[in-house]
Structure 1
Amino acid sequence: MLHPKQVPVEKQGDKLNLRNLTVAELKDIAKENNIDGYSSMKKAELINFIEESET
């Protein structure tokens, strides 16, 4: 099995297309970005918080 960072991901411009990632991969990104409460978030919430943290 590939590590999430090794999985090819489509990009839209300079941003990752987060909708193509799994919830587990999104939670890993949220953890790296120090997003509080990520473990109980749903996919859409994770995407929103990750996008906000990257701007």
Structure 2
Amino acid sequence: MYWEEIKKLVSGYRKMAGTRSIAPHLSLERNTSVSFQQFISGVHRYIEQVQESL
């Protein structure tokens, strides 16, 4: 798993702390990662479905 590789490269790396420190630097509009865009698209679809069911 890639987390294990990150731990080897960065001493003291913690998954949750790393995630929290990276999050403020992510841009939903400018991100070029296809998988991240698909994830965000899925979250938007889910939110729309929930709102429609209310």
Shared fold per TM-score greater than 0.5: no
Which of structures 1 and 2 has the larger relative contact order (alpha carbons within 8 angstroms, sep 6+)? 1
> Per residue, is there more helix in 1 or in 2?
2
TM-score normalized by structure 2?
0.28
> Per residue, is there more strand in 1 or in 2?
1
